[in-house]
Amino acid sequence: MRPGRVFWRLTRAVALLLGLAALVLALGGALAASTVDPAFEPILTRLAADGLPEAKLRRLFSRAEMVFSPKAMADKLSALYMRKYGLRLVADIQTRLIALGWHPGPADGKLDRMTRWSIRAYQASEGLPPLGTATEALLAELDKSPHHAPAGLVFPVFPTAEVHDVVLSAERMAEAREFYERNRAALARTRQNYGVPEEYLVALLAVETRVGRYLGDEVAVVNLASLVAGEDPARLAGSFTYEKPSPDRQAWLNRKALEKGEWAYGELRALLRYADIQGIDALSIPGSIYGAIGICQFMPSNALKYAVDGNGDGKADLFDVEDALASLGNILRAMGWKQPMSDEAMRKVFYGYNHSQVYVNTIMDAARRLRDASASGTTKP
């Protein structure tokens, strides 16, 4: 066969293969476009209307990981509902525990410190993991194994200032001291540039992420998108089956879901912008159940405003220790940190970072312990 004909046939074969490849890609793109979770389709449309590139959004939302989950919104609404009305499930568990002598009361539907202690005490007596959470499985266990508390059970007297005890445990404080020692130079730079002493920076990170050891086991973009989609009450069907809220309380839940969904939309849009600026895959960013990201757990809108480059590489990567520390110093200064600072002023700044007095109490206690350890020369674990 003549060389020219061979070449022609090879060229034609290559062209056919390329054509098939293009067809496969086109079909794949069409299939991918059809695999957007229906719950996310309105969000994609809204983001595109706000100026984000639709083709890029569609590729992101078509990926297998982008699946709606009602958990984030259900958890948030349950916490709000319990704070306002009390939860029927918690009240029923409290009632069982009171009858069995494990809880001093009242059965108010609030999962407070005493209720958590009572649940753990019962669980430990049954050889169960002492989780201290209120679940339907626990209620079933109480009905199945209605064992009375031992005679003379002594209930604890809790201090007025509640803290996250687990953060102040020996293990967790050792982690914090090791981080302090390992990052002395970066911590000192942050103090010099932003005025926040080392022990407060480390204490906050110890509360938020175990000083970077735990960055969340959720995918931030999926949870934020799910929160947005969860503003539709129909998508939360079953989340309050046990509670059976009255019509007026259901209306309140619906309003709260809409509020939280709108808030989450702003955070989702900010997260996508942050990922684009940093040049990273949005689905590679871990976060909390409510979308906080990085070692210092910034909400994405704060990441856009306050994340700064702490190591001079041109990026503001909240998963890099030096960048995270500088960014933390930056936001705390913006929230009012200045020297000298009274304890009351410090507490106000930390409360602005996370609206929880327990959170603030824990940071202040952890910072005191770190300061005492540093002063005594025992920073190293």
Neighbours of 172 (CB within 10 A): 19
Cα separations (Å) of 182 from 1, 82, 126, 166, 188?
A: 73, 42, 42, 22, 12
- Mean pLDDT within 233-247: 93
Kindly report the CATH class assigned to 71-144. Answer: mainly alpha
Give the distance, in angstroms, between the CA of residue 204 and the centroid of all CA atoms in the same chain: 15
Cα separations (Å) of 186 from 69, 131, 298, 318?
A: 39, 37, 19, 14
- Does residue 320 surpass a pLDDT of 90? yes
For residues 252 and 380, which has the higher predicted lDDT (pLDDT)? Answer: 252
What kind of fold does domain 165-375 have according to CATH?
Answer: Lysozyme (1.10.530)
- Does residue 12 surpass a pLDDT of 60? no
Domain ranges for the chain, please list them: 3-61, 71-144, 165-375
Reading the block at residue 136, the tokens are 């339907």
- DSSP assignment, residue 123? H
- Mean pLDDT within 138-154: 96
Who's near 61: CB < 8 A, 6+ residues apart?
A: 36, 37, 40, 41, 43, 44, 225
pLDDT at 62: 96
Cα separations (Å) of 14 from 2, 23, 176?
A: 19, 14, 60
287: which strand partners? 218
Q: Are 93 and 114 in contact (CB under 8 A)?
A: no
- Mean pLDDT within 127-156: 96
- CA neighbor of 239 nearest in space, from 138, 136, 153: 136
pLDDT at 355: 94
Reading the block at residue 10, the tokens are 């090879």
- CA neighbor of 208 nearest in space, from 327, 359, 348: 359
Phi then psi for residue 283, to 5 deg, are: -75, -5
Cα distance between residue 309 and residue 233, in whole Å? 41
Neighbour-count burial of 53, counting CB atoms closer than 10 A to its CB (0-12 exposed, 13-18 middle, 19+ buried): exposed
Does residue 310 sit in helix, strand or coil?
coil
- CA neighbor of 264 nearest in space, from 296, 234, 291, 285: 291
> If you average pLDDT over every residue of the chain, what do you get?
91
Who's near 329: CB < 8 A, 6+ residues apart?
A: 190, 191, 193, 194, 195, 196, 201
pLDDT tens-digit profile of 218-230? 999 999 999 999 9
Confidence of residue 160 (pLDDT cuts 50, 70, 90): confident
Maximum separation of any 2 CA atoms in the chain, in Å:
103
Neighbour-count burial of 254, counting CB atoms closer than 10 A to its CB (0-12 exposed, 13-18 middle, 19+ buried): middle
pLDDT tens-digit profile of 92-120? 999 999 999 999 999 999 999 999 999 99
- CA neighbor of 289 nearest in space, from 329, 260, 330: 260
- Provide the residue type at 320 as one letter: D
- Does residue 3 surpass a pLDDT of 60? no
Which pTM value belongs to this model? 0.85
How far the first Cα of the chain sits from its last, in Å, is 79
Cα distance between residue 323 and residue 307, in whole Å? 7
Who's near 155: CB < 8 A, 6+ residues apart?
A: 104, 114, 117, 118
- Mean pLDDT within 300-320: 97
- Mean pLDDT within 284-289: 95
Confidence of residue 307 (pLDDT cuts 50, 70, 90): very high
- Mean pLDDT within 211-236: 95
Confidence of residue 7 (pLDDT cuts 50, 70, 90): very low
Neighbour-count burial of 319, counting CB atoms closer than 10 A to its CB (0-12 exposed, 13-18 middle, 19+ buried): middle
- Mean pLDDT within 160-188: 95
For residues 125 and 18, which has the higher predicted lDDT (pLDDT)? Answer: 125
- DSSP assignment, residue 284? G
